[in-house]
Chain A
Amino acid sequence: MGDQDQPTKEPQEEPVAQQESTSSAPTVLFIEDDPLLLKMYETKFKSEGFRVLAAQDGEEGLRLASNERIDLIILDLMMPKLSGLDMLERLRSQAHGKSHVVIVLTNLTKEEEIKRAMDLGVKEYLVKADLTPNEVAAKVKAYLGK
């Protein structure tokens, strides 16, 4: 942590509005029900040059994951309608859903959940409160070879 050298960026007035998605930008799908945290990660990832799709519950997340071109999914666990892991289980049961790269980003650290996530082929299980958005972005970049 803290070791990643991030390129220095020009400060941006409104990072969300800028860097509109380009077709070549890697796409990350955030499935996160806390609007404040979602906005925070969205802002950071857009300023880092990602195309960001967002869903605030498992059902919406599953719909986007099934229909959109996505390079990596960042998944929260405790969510309304469909929990993160139930959503992932359904995604994995679909033909095209087996190869999605998924990172769990949650504040829940129950051992049963971690085991279940790992069984569902999650690449990494990250605790939100332990990482800054920059550190999360660095992890994602490492997976995407960016």
Chain B
Amino acid sequence: MQISQEHLLIFSVINFILLIIAIVVAVISSRKYGKIKEIDKEKDEFISMAAHELRAPLTAIKGYLSMIVEGDAGEVSTKARGFLADASAVNERLVRLVNNMLNVSRIEQGRLVFQMDNLHLARAARSALDTFRAEAERKGLEFSVEIPEKISDVVYVDPDKLDEVIANLVSNAVKFTNKGSVKIRLVNPENGAVRLEVIDSGPGISAEEQKKLFRKFYRVESTSGKTIGTGLGLYICKLLIEKFNGKIGLISGEEKGSTFWFELPLSKSELKAS
């Protein structure tokens, strides 16, 4: 087929029109992108301010509750102690929620400041046991820690952030388990690492859901058909553990309970000592 001048002209015109369309689309989308970035920044600012404002009353509630429990206001009856423990547990849930809201975009953008230090994982595990004991007992759950005597457990992390990871895992286990037990266990799987497991006898999670569990905003449907939470907790756990050069995962099956675990490399000081 011969290409006439007419053909060439039509071809050039079409090309020219396509080029114009491409430029217009590029300009519009870059403007939109700029706008989206601006909105995203405003959203971050808003969340940051709202979370900050929420933290002040939460601090006062937490502080006064703890002081009453510690006996600073006189003797507390057992019944009142139980009520206070419940109030504290709910308040702690709010504190975690606010922390998760603040953390998520900062970790994603690499803007979260870490205060790294050596931490005994066994100590953090026992502390989590103290924090959630009342809530677990209220639900009638057996709640324990299992730490082998000769465990190597010093890890190099941001201790507060790792506490948040453990709290997220234990809080989920207590929340979703209605009978049976929740156990925090420490093991040295291989030289150079320590593993923390949160083992529950809850409803378990299907293989299908397991794949999506650590994704942002993904929420597991509970047995009652309700979805709860913000869908940020496990996503943040994953981001943080990976930041500390570790890995995180779970072993579960429907009706078989769940074991959420993370593994962290032992700190250099621990490796030298052993």
Interchain CB contact under 8 A, A133 and B66: yes
| Cβ–Cβ < 8 Å partners of B225 in chain A | none
Binds B, one of A5-13, A20-28, A52-60, A89-97: A5-13
CB distance from B74 to the nearest CB of A (A): 4
Interface flag for B60 (CB, 8 Å): yes
Interface flag for A44 (CB, 8 Å): yes
Interface residues of A in 7-65 (CB under 8 A from B): 8-9, 11-13, 15, 34, 36-37, 40-41, 43-44, 47
Q: Nearest CB to that of B60 among chain A residues?
A: A36
Task: Count B-side interface residues using an 8 Å CB cutoff.
Answer: 34
Interchain CB contact under 8 A, B67 and A125: no
| Cβ–Cβ < 8 Å partners of A13 in chain B | 74
Task: Count A-side interface residues using an 8 Å CB cutoff.
Answer: 34
Interface flag for A68 (CB, 8 Å): no
CB distance from A12 to the nearest CB of B (A): 7
Interchain CB contact under 8 A, B59 and A111: no
Interface residues of B in 54-79 (CB under 8 A from A): 55-56, 58-60, 62-64, 66-67, 70-75
The B contact surface, by secondary structure, is helix
Interface flag for B102 (CB, 8 Å): yes
Interchain CB contact under 8 A, B55 and A2: no
CB distance from A141 to the nearest CB of B (A): 15
Where the two chains meet, the residues of B that have a C-beta atom closer than 8 Å to any C-beta of A are 48, 52, 55-56, 58-60, 62-64, 66-67, 70-75, 95, 98-99, 102, 106, 111-113, 115, 123, 126-127, 130-131, 160, 163
> Which 10 pairs, one residue from A and one from B, show the smallest C-beta to C-beta distance?
A107-B55, A132-B66, A2-B130, A129-B55, A11-B74, A128-B59, A114-B113, A111-B113, A129-B59, A1-B127
